[in-house]
Amino acid sequence: MDRMKNKVVIITGAAQGIGATYARALAAEGAHIVIADVLDGAPLVEELEGMGAEAIALKTDVSDEASASTMAAAAMERFGQIDVLVNNAAIYASLKMKGFEDIDLSEWDKVMAVNVRGPFICARAVAPHMKARGQGRIINISSGTPFKGTPGLLHYVTSKGAILALTRALARELGDFGLSVNTLAPGLVLSEGVVANAEMRERLTAPVIASRAIKRDQMPGDLIGPLLFLASDDSAFMTGETVVVDGGSVMH
């Protein structure tokens, strides 16, 4: 399994949860991994190195332009290239569900800073390095929620809707340089954070499963195949698209 052999992949928010699942899967396919997270990615680096992969962990605040630039520069210094950026970092599972009237403006701004400004800043940080080589893939992580208008999480749903638009416009701007930009949109995944948020599980799990054509919980592993497709040459002539993976709750 070497679809990603010697490819350098930056994954934001990869120190734990679904991002860590992405890192393990890409490493198993031969990729060199850059874990960019505000959390400590050293334990995952040790795990990946135990698999025989090359990996580094960078303390990165995706909402900060200087931090994102440092991330890209450090990846280039270590590996000499950047092939894939997975914009995974986001605020979600820690949110409390509430009516839109009760969302504090500071919370709204924090969600937008990480979930929307973050992918924009990180894409801008890596794009010059990708353009210089005439190749690269940016994978933005959205959600099935913008297609449904899920209530109780207006700031999160709005932020993930913005990612769909960002992907389409960015794909137009970068296509002439040989870069592709696509979106992976999961459904409600039983990540570590979601499992820990009892209210979210109680309010969302049953109706979400009932809405699916395949009626079961979605696990992080369900996203591995689609992610590898978007990260590899398997999707070479595909850009500006959104791949929804949620068991058929959203049929996009």
Q: Give the tens place of pLDDT for each residue, 31-76.
A: 999 999 999 999 999 999 999 999 999 999 999 999 999 999 999 9
Query: For the segment 20-43, what is each residue's pLDDT rounded down to a tens digit?
Result: 999 999 999 999 999 999 999 999
SS3 state at 192:
helix
* Predicted local confidence at residue 21, as pLDDT: 97
Q: How far is CA 216 from CA 96, 188, 213, in A?
A: 24, 11, 9
Over 70: is that where the pLDDT of 239 sits?
Answer: yes
Mean pLDDT of the chain: 96
Copy the structure tokens of residue 58: 């960078």
* Predicted local confidence at residue 1, as pLDDT: 66
Which residues are bridge partners to 182 per DSSP? 139
Predicted TM-score (pTM) of the model is 0.96
Instruction: Clarify whether 156 is annotated catalytic.
Output: yes
Cα–Cα distance for residue pair 62/64, rounded to 1 Å = 5
Q: Is 77 exposed, middle or buried (0-12, 13-18, 19+ CB in 10 A)?
A: exposed
Cα–Cα distance for residue pair 184/103, rounded to 1 Å = 27
Over 80: is that where the pLDDT of 156 sits?
Answer: yes
Catalytic residue among 91, 156, 183, 212: 156
Over 80: is that where the pLDDT of 192 sits?
Answer: no
Question: Which DSSP category does 95 fall into?
Answer: P
Q: Does domain 8-245 have CATH number 1.10.10.10?
A: no
Domain boundaries, the chain: 8-245
